[in-house]
Amino acid sequence: MAHLTPTPVLEPNQDRTMILNMGPQHPSTHGVLRVILEIDGETVVRMMPDIGYLHTGIEKTCEAKFYQQVVPLTDRIDYLCPLTNNLCYALAVEKLLGLEIPPKAQWLRVLLNELTRINSHLVWLGTHALDIGAMTVFLYCFREREDILRIFEMVSGQRMMTSYFRIGGIALEPPIGFFEKVRDFADRFPARVDEYENLLTGNPIWMMRTKGVAKISAEDALALGASGPTLRGSGVDLDLRRDMPYSGYENFKFKVPVGKEGDVFDRYLCRVAELRESIGIVKQALDGMPEGPIKANAPKVVLPDREKMKTEMEALIYHFKIITEGFTVPAGEVYQAVESPRGEMGYYVVSDGTAKPYRVHMRAACLANLQTLPKMCEGRLIADVVAAIGSIDIVLGEIDR
Amino acid sequence: MALAPPITDLEQLRTHPAVAALLDWNPAAIQGVKFDRDEMTIAVDRAHIREACTLLRDHADFPFEFLSDVTCVDWYPSEPRFEVIYHLLSISKKERVRLKVRLDGSSPVVESITSVWPAANYFEREVFDLFGVRFTGHPYLRRIMMPEDWDGNPLRKDYPVEGYR
């Protein structure tokens, strides 16, 4: 069964227009996004994103792994928020199993998730500003991002591919000095956000490049499936952390910043405000961190402690069983969604009662957000395309999976 | 690890707003219901999926305004082989519902819901690409992840994980 059809290319429909190919190797496409533009002079008449260059078949690979072996794969979907993906997958499988997670593990998950959100927004802010021509912000943002990556390294041993959340809890107790380090960062960070805002928010060049650019209405954004700051920038008040709480988010107080105009500037304001809200959540998590275990009491699912393994026969047997045979999950299906830095990240996991997932599907926020791009760009200048791509905070690894 | 057994009795789930709305409209459209792990699943007849989606989206008291996701599960070798899954979200009422259309392996065709939510465009293209399910009325049904000249549909269960060598 061959599908031999030519590569999708828009046909220029009049003598006036021409086709311009942007990407897949283009510095402002944040990865390998190819955009085909039909232009009339400098005005974009039609636009078509072409994706799939990073498709690695993660969903297929998941079907051949044990449930616990899928966790490292989830890191690699979205390299800017691996912990959010870990969390979403762990929550989905825990829901399938009916596992109860102890409060300390939940709060640690929230704390690290908000640090991940800050990390992701910092990379977005830096590269977005770089695309539009403000180089300094990039260096400032990566300075703070480095601090967060050091915190991740401290807690999980990895800067980016953390795999720190496991099914049933968290891999390890955080090391000594971890909370002090996070506290130190949380105290320093709000002043740094002021620095970024001083450079951008009131800057006339920044405002000219972003205000009124790449507008999208609330109705259009909703119909096209946008979520996260891309949707909130247009004035739709939807944040899954507040509206459908998971992992103990109902214990935290935070505001959900919502824009009005739906332009690049409002999406920028939403994300910068989220930086401040996230650091607030981190502080609340530090202040109220409960004591107790970090893993659920489910010996057939959660790996035993190293010490117990050396002294207790039972623990050794469970460890051997989980590593060699995995653990079985009762048949069923769940859809678990979390608010990732980019919007609604969802995991749909189907179990057929064996130790390997029958199907794992990731609902990528970026894939839906990307559909809004033509609506934002058509009728505007080519230079605005770059601003629009940056403003939906695109991560191609997540889109193509 | 206490899991409540799933409820599949239509009478017990009659009060769920999405089920009630579909029952009021056309009881024949519902093939089955399941309430499991706090999630509602409704199996919809394949001829009615677009109308069912429109109905749920425009429901006066309990609108499901947002299409979260469209995906597919391959139950090879059993029949009906494919299940196309739609995840709907009601933003105002903070509820989710899952619609399901069962398709047999010989002619996996279902009506596209891009006219209800344009968001379905990429999702349906992905299902078409990776499962070979066709969506009638889709504006641009072409491969999205795999190269245009690829053989086969990688997420089908009879497609080897390592690919064909």
Domain boundaries, chain B: 17-136
- Chain B residues 8-67 with CB within 8 Å of chain A: 36-37, 39, 41, 65-67
Amino acid sitting at position B27:
P
Q: Which fold does the domain B17-136 belong to in CATH?
A: Beta Polymerase; domain 2 (3.30.460)
Asked if the Cβ–Cβ distance from A5 to B68 is below 8 Å, we say no
Say whether B55 sits in a helix, a strand or coil.
helix
Instruction: Name the nearest CA neighbour of A271 among A369, A337, A348.
Output: A369
Integer Rg of chain B from CA: 17
Say whether A83 sits in a helix, a strand or coil.
helix
Residues of chain A with Cβ-Cβ distance to B154 below 8 Å are 57, 60
Place of tokens 């990556």: A149
Interchain contact A306–B (C-beta under 8 A)? no
Is pLDDT of A5 > 70? no
Instruction: Locate the DSSP E strands across A113-195.
Output: 165-166, 169-170
- Chain A residues 168-197 with CB within 8 Å of chain B: none
Integer Rg of chain A from CA: 22
How many CB atoms are located within 10 Å of the residue A18 CB? 12
Kindly report the average pLDDT of chain A as a whole number. Answer: 88
Residue B61 CB burial class (10 angstroms; 0-12, 13-18, ≥19): exposed
Distance from C-alpha of A365 to C-alpha of A101, rounded to nearest angstrom: 26
Cis bond before residue B80 (omega within 30° of 0): yes
Enumerate the β-bridge partners of residue B84: B72, B101
- Chain A residues 222-241 with CB within 8 Å of chain B: 222-225, 227, 236, 238
Distance from C-alpha of B37 to C-alpha of B5, rounded to nearest angstrom: 8
Amino acid sitting at position A178:
F
CA-CA distances (angstroms) from residue A395 to A42, A86, A390, A400? Answer: 26, 17, 10, 9
Under 8 Å between Cβ of B136 and B109: yes
Q: Please name the member of B94, B119, B155 whose beta carbon is closest to the beta carbon of A59.
A: B155
> The domain containing residue A78 runs over which residues?
58-361+385-400
Distance from C-alpha of B115 to C-alpha of B122, rounded to nearest angstrom: 13
Q: What is the dihedral of CA A377, A383, A384, A385, to 10 degrees?
A: 50
Distance from C-alpha of A82 to C-alpha of A400, rounded to nearest angstrom: 16
Amino acid sitting at position A282:
V
pLDDT digit string, tens, across residues A223-252: 998 999 999 999 888 899 988 898 889 889
Q: Please name the member of A64, A225, A358 whose beta carbon is closest to the beta carbon of B117.
A: A225
| pLDDT the model gives residue B7 | 81
Mean pLDDT for the stretch of residues A290-308: 87
CATH number (domain holding residue A65)? 1.10.645.10
Enumerate the β-bridge partners of residue B43: B32, B100
Place of tokens 């935290």: A252
pLDDT digit string, tens, across residues A105-159: 999 999 999 999 999 999 999 999 988 888 889 999 999 999 999 999 999 888 8
Place of tokens 């590269």: A127
Residues of chain A with Cβ-Cβ distance to B71 below 8 Å are 348, 361, 363
Question: Which DSSP state fits B149?
Answer: T
Under 8 Å between Cβ of B39 and A334: yes
End-to-end Cα spacing for chain B: 43
Asked if the Cβ–Cβ distance from A4 to B148 is below 8 Å, we say yes
Residues sharing a CB contact under 8 Å with residue A288, sequence separation 6 or more, in sequence order: A107, A251
| pLDDT the model gives residue B38 | 85
The percentage of residues in chain A with a pLDDT greater than 70, rounded to a whole number, is 96
pLDDT digit string, tens, across residues B49-104: 998 999 888 888 888 989 999 999 999 888 889 999 999 999 888 889 999 999 98
Distance from C-alpha of A188 to C-alpha of A169, rounded to nearest angstrom: 29
pLDDT confidence bin for A1, thresholds 50/70/90: very low
Q: Please name the member of A6, A55, A224 whose beta carbon is closest to the beta carbon of B119.
A: A224
Number of structural domains found in chain A: 1
Task: Specify the DSSP element, H or E, that contains A45.
Answer: strand A43-50
Mean pLDDT for the stretch of residues A82-103: 91
Q: What are the φ and ψ backbone dihedral angles of A126, each rounded to 5 degrees?
A: -60, -50
Chain B closest-CA separation from residue A269 CA (Å): 23
Interchain contact B164–A (C-beta under 8 A)? no
Chain CA centroid to CA B67, Å: 11
Distance from C-alpha of A65 to C-alpha of A161, rounded to nearest angstrom: 18
Angle (CA) A121 A397 B147, round 5°: 150
Mean pLDDT for the stretch of residues A271-285: 92
Global confidence as pTM: 0.90
| pLDDT the model gives residue B5 | 81
Residues of chain A with Cβ-Cβ distance to B98 below 8 Å are 333, 335
Asked whether residue A7 is domain-assigned, the answer is: no
Place of tokens 């996701």: B69
Instruction: Name the nearest CA neighbour of A355 among A64, A67, A59.
Output: A67
Q: What is the ipTM of this complex?
A: 0.91
